[in-house]
Amino acid sequence: MPMITVREAEQADNPGLLALTRATPMDGRVSIRIDRDPDFFALVRLRGRGKTFVAIVDGRIVACFSVTYRTVFVNAQPRTIGHMGDLKLDPRHRGQRVLFRILRAAFDYMDTQDVNMYACVAARGNERVMSLLRSRLFLPEWRSAGNFRVYQMLPAFFRRRDPAGGRYAIALAGNSEIAAVCDLCNGFNASYQLAPVLDGTALRAPETPPSVQPPCRVFTARHDGAIVATLSALDLANVKQIYVAGVSSPMRFLLRALGAARRFIPRLAVPQMGAPLKALFLRNAAYAPGHGEALRALLAHIRHLAFREGYSLVTIGIHEHDPLGFMVSGVPRYAFQSTLLLATRPGPNIARDPALIDSVLGGIPAEDFSVA
């Protein structure tokens, strides 16, 4: 029986982790593969502080697992929770022994953290992950917080009439406006469960040459000079690349129809099987009371921008019970579903708290699918 070595991943493991990622597509109703070139760890760092663990057999990485920590709103108060992801297992090592060893190492690390709530997102239909979670290795029972619809919206090839009737002035936020954007987002997010607590770090644009777009662009809508809505568009092409490995029949029909439409709209960027998708990820949607139409105006602006810049899709994840779904009403889109699961586990100075999960399930959860 080959010897299994499990340890914390280090930068030198990057080539092996990239190879493992390419070998393990995500199964579901839409099968996708997310590559992480050139740096596997870049996406982990975007999620928050934490660690990645690897299992090695015969000098080759055969499994990995990440645990990260972020500050979110729970019952309208900032709280640190853990997020588990990147569970990948080489198809040639399907036995439970490798999984047991790598999960044991990760949970030993979790036992050192004063965090007692953990979240995990699994694509609906991914039976390999769901069966593992049902096995309850090292954790009490996972509880479902419902499904997210991860909308894949088509870019808008013409500028639609402003759905808000021209009430709002839309522009990119400058760094001097980031504090006001954070205040709007945090006030909005506090009404959700697990929505991020923003401090401006992720929103402030880095210094780039005028000809280079920053990876994250923060758009605002103003009314009478005040910021009343915001929506950020994130390009993660340098962090992850999404490939469609298999699709359902309706999606295949849509792709064919879009391919035919290119004869009339040459600039239309159509997703291609086996080619990376050029996608804009939306995050940090927020609006002031009475200004929901400002958010729809921002989405229309970004979708037209996506068309002009050659993007194939504009993506956002919205919980099935979230009234925020109004923003995508009437927009051509396809949705696949992911399930949010929660579990509680004690830390060294903090007890397991099932009632905490109960309170979260009583609200509407949020999840940032741009870094999933």
Residues 359 and 100: their CA atoms lie apart, in Å, by 31
**So what CATH class is 152-336?**
alpha beta
User: To the nearest whole number, what is the mean pLDDT of the chain?
Assistant: 86
Query: Count of alpha carbons within 13 Å of 269, Cβ hemisphere only?
Result: 22
Contact 323, 111 (CB under 8 A): no
Confidence of residue 114 (pLDDT cuts 50, 70, 90): very high
Q: Where are the domains of the chain?
A: 4-149+347-371, 152-336
* Range with the poorest average pLDDT among 120-134, 280-294, 324-338: 120-134
pLDDT in tens, 221-230: 999 999 999 9
Higher pLDDT, 172 or 246: 172
Residue whose entry in the numeric block shows the structure tokens 């919980």: 319
345 pLDDT tier (thresholds 50, 70, 90): confident
Q: Are 349 and 114 in contact (CB under 8 A)?
A: yes
User: For 334-363, what is the mean pLDDT?
Assistant: 91
pLDDT at 7 over 70: yes
Cα–Cα nearest to 61, from 31, 92, 107: 92
Q: Which two tokens stand for residue 88?
A: 């990948």
Q: Say which DSSP state 193 is in.
A: B
Return the minimum-mean-pLDDT range out of 53-67, 247-261, 293-307, 344-358: 247-261
Could you give the residue ranges of the DSSP H alpha helices within 144-230?
Answer: 178-189
DSSP state for residue 312 in the 8-state scheme: S
Least confident of 26-35, 99-108, 283-292: 26-35
Does residue 247 register a pLDDT over 50?
A: yes
Q: Domain 4-149+347-371 adopts which CATH fold?
A: Aminopeptidase (3.40.630)
Q: Residue 210 above 70 pLDDT?
A: no
Phi, psi of 139 (to 5 degrees): -130, 150
Residue pair 361/143 in contact (Cβ under 8 Å)? The answer is: yes
Report pLDDT for 160: 60
Confidence bin at 60 (pLDDT 50/70/90): very high
The encoded tokens of residue 363 equal 């609200």
The predicted model scores a pTM of 0.88
Burial of 23 (0-12, 13-18, 19+ CB in 10 A): middle
Whether 152-336 and 4-149+347-371 are alike in CATH topology: the answer is yes
pLDDT average, residue stretch 207-213: 50
